Chains A and B, each alone.
Chain A
């Protein structure tokens, strides 16, 4: 498989996952807000922070109100992380990889892109929000289904899986980071009635509430939620679960020693987390999440160097050239 095509496929999966995760995030946030009293600090602003887009948002918008945040995250092409931008990028990547991807995937992505563009043109408001977000989520799920059902187990599929998992792991860490900064008590006795609701919101943002309840049969508590989202090996959106699956995919590729080491490093880091401590120490948690994000970004770099940029190959080629001349 061509390195360029592998890279396109990898990013295609990341963009689609990003579009889907962003849609889920907004969807949960909107529902959650309806249950909260106006005075809480939790608001639309959080979404801007979670997505790491504060600078660009503030450049174009005056206020972090519902309509602005919605339009920014869903339909603003000036922001590269918006749903429309993610879908645009996914579609462009698909155009260059049409020869390796099942035809129906192209049709699905093309259709959702056209629908989303149309909707974005006319503006997204609280009334049409749910329909819009569901359209995006369903299409992404459909594409994942087509990949599962019709794409052969080749390197194309391997890179799709890796891209999807890495984006997912990254999104989970972001959600834990920002939501938790809001949630964590200044001291552990300071419990508000909404405390539980907020932890529930973290789980819901990741579509993890139901799975959490099945897994942890106690009331929702900070340390348990953290353990579940960071270390669980069965919940598909738990960071450790994502990284483990990446490891399994990496093992099928040639010359993956460095990438595998990077994944292992991240996994060890996750398993060693002292969740009870992190759950009550906001600064420590923030620092910890930063470290994990660094691990993920290093894992990405290793993947890119090994298979997209062929760093090792270029070195060998240079040596060959020297020995010949």
Chain B
């Protein structure tokens, strides 16, 4: 390993989060870049080693399915933080609040009067073909009319520095535990940086989450019994489920731990007998939640859970059916949705999107597959995508057929020049593409946005895929006060 020299940092062609031009760090990153540049090569090695040890001893893992068995992998983490100046972040956070508020009004409307369809703003045919619309939820009014209590929105920055929302995850977004753990790791290995007091803390998330969940309790006033419902140890996010339960001091339960009585209340089976449960932070997909209402073969769910929820005896976060709004085709309508419900212009732009269900858009997409990213409506985790510039002729041909046979299921976006951030790769600092997933909590009266979020980084040179299930890593994200003048 050699010393870091920002003069040699080749960020040309992309917007870099830390370095404006070779040798020229952005003002808010100056301190951090100086720090790395002043490290001797040996110290840099030591630094990286300290990070690996911290991750191993803290036991931060994620689970991957490989060669027929599930294994716990150490969390891939890059020691160079990503920095966002506080004023920019405050604007972004306001935009996220606006967006999630509108999305919640949209979901509530879809399950009630469907005014937005009657008013001709949102096409009925999109809803008719939505894989995540749950007829079982029609007419239900969850507390505070909030459906997506926990939202993880993915933000990306294009070549000119504009931040876009790339997608909203309204079902069971994960990653927040890694955001918190990343900070714990950096605090261990970069304590000097925190001494300046300019880095905003992130660790109130679990308190905020707890308060938000408690506010949903059907028995207000009492000490609410809150649980985290996990599919179990074979789920890739099990570490996070266990982490959040531990941090909030609530039980981590699996489906068979819960039972719904004839009084429609949910109980958990404890050593002290059955105890009523008020709020369930569920990390199981809708379709597996309740075998009586959805997939009858589900072993993960709780029979009767929907019955209890409908009767208002238990609160579910996120509400079943909330996923109707994180469909990637619905995504294209979000700016209209914001204008319709809030009568405001969106504060954060959408990435321009082409919907294959519309003939004009479809023809454009089919003619320009090479330059576009094509996404199926209801997949997440980066699966089932076509990244035009990196695709083969055969892949494009296969996708063209998929699009023609089921146009509603596909949308396309221009390939963005995703921004980069300095990443420690082998022996040197190299630019790697990053995105950002902040988390938004929607309670009764207020909406909370994490300070920054989880920065994910594509560790492979030139790659745009940041998902941890596909070899992505992550970074700590700093929201930093900038000195005036």
Judging by beta carbons under 8 Å apart, are A1 and B252 in contact?
no
- Which applies to chain A's interface (DSSP): helix, strand, loop or mixed? helix
Judging by beta carbons under 8 Å apart, are A320 and B242 in contact?
no
Contacts of A4 in B (CB 8 A): 253-254, 256-257, 269
Judging by beta carbons under 8 Å apart, are A99 and B270 in contact?
no
Chain A proximity of B30: nearest CB distance (Å): 37
CA of A123 to CA of B238, assembled, Å:
33
B314: Cβ under 8 A from any A Cβ: no
Contact with A along B258-290 (1 / 0, CB 8 A): 010111000011111110000000000000000
Judging by beta carbons under 8 Å apart, are A321 and B262 in contact?
yes
Judging by beta carbons under 8 Å apart, are B262 and A325 in contact?
yes
Q: A98-B242, A107-B59 are in contact. Are A1 and B270 (CB under 8 A)?
A: yes
CA of A6 to CA of B274, assembled, Å:
14
CA of A99 to CA of B269, assembled, Å:
17
Q: Which of A5, A99, A106, A313 is within 8 Å of B273, CB to CB?
A: A313
Contacts of A159 in B (CB 8 A): 271
Judging by beta carbons under 8 Å apart, are B59 and A317 in contact?
no
Judging by beta carbons under 8 Å apart, are A3 and B270 in contact?
yes
CA of A99 to CA of B241, assembled, Å:
10
Q: A2-B257, A4-B256, A324-B262 are in contact. Are A254 and B57 (CB under 8 A)?
A: no
B53: Cβ under 8 A from any A Cβ: no
CA of A6 to CA of B257, assembled, Å:
12
Q: Which of B428-463 contact A (CB under 8 A)?
A: none
Per the CB 8 Å criterion, the residue count for chain A at the interface is 27
B332: Cβ under 8 A from any A Cβ: no
Chain A proximity of B162: nearest CB distance (Å): 41
Judging by beta carbons under 8 Å apart, are B270 and A255 in contact?
no
Contacts of B254 in A (CB 8 A): 4
Judging by beta carbons under 8 Å apart, are A313 and B269 in contact?
yes
B233: Cβ under 8 A from any A Cβ: yes
CA of A4 to CA of B251, assembled, Å:
11
Q: Which of A49-76 contact B (CB under 8 A)?
A: none
Contacts of A258 in B (CB 8 A): none
CA of A114 to CA of B413, assembled, Å:
46
Judging by beta carbons under 8 Å apart, are A107 and B57 in contact?
yes
Contacts of B261 in A (CB 8 A): 317, 320-321
Judging by beta carbons under 8 Å apart, are A254 and B59 in contact?
no
CA of A140 to CA of B241, assembled, Å:
28
Residue of B nearest to A6 (CB): B271
Chain B proximity of A102: nearest CB distance (Å): 12
Chain A proximity of B485: nearest CB distance (Å): 46
Contacts of A317 in B (CB 8 A): 259, 261, 274
Q: Which of B34-77 contact A (CB under 8 A)?
A: 57, 59
Residue of A nearest to B249 (CB): A99
A199: Cβ under 8 A from any B Cβ: no
Contacts of B57 in A (CB 8 A): 107
Contacts of B273 in A (CB 8 A): 254-255, 310, 313
Chain B proximity of A94: nearest CB distance (Å): 10
Q: Which of A2, A95, A96, A307 is within 8 Å of B268, CB to CB?
A: A2
A155: Cβ under 8 A from any B Cβ: yes
Chain B proximity of A237: nearest CB distance (Å): 27
Q: Which of A121-176 contact B (CB under 8 A)?
A: 155, 159
Contacts of A2 in B (CB 8 A): 251, 253, 257, 268-271
CA of A314 to CA of B143, assembled, Å:
31
Q: Which of A88-122 contact B (CB under 8 A)?
A: 92, 95-96, 98-99, 103, 106-107
Residue of B nearest to A104 (CB): B57
Contact with B along A290-325 (1 / 0, CB 8 A): 000000000000000001001001000100110011
B246: Cβ under 8 A from any A Cβ: yes
Chain B proximity of A90: nearest CB distance (Å): 14
B245: Cβ under 8 A from any A Cβ: yes
Judging by beta carbons under 8 Å apart, are B242 and A99 in contact?
yes
Contacts of A324 in B (CB 8 A): 262-263
What are 11 contact pairs spanning A and B, CB under 8 A?
A1-B270, A2-B257, A2-B268, A3-B269, A4-B256, A4-B257, A98-B246, A99-B246, A106-B59, A107-B57, A254-B273
- A-B CB proximity, top 3 nearest: A99-B246, A3-B269, A321-B262
Q: Which residues on B are within 8 Å of A, measured CB to CB?
A: 57, 59, 232-233, 238, 242, 245-246, 251-254, 256-257, 259, 261-263, 268-274
Q: Which residues on A are within 8 Å of B, measured CB to CB?
A: 1-6, 92, 95-96, 98-99, 103, 106-107, 155, 159, 253-255, 307, 310, 313, 317, 320-321, 324-325
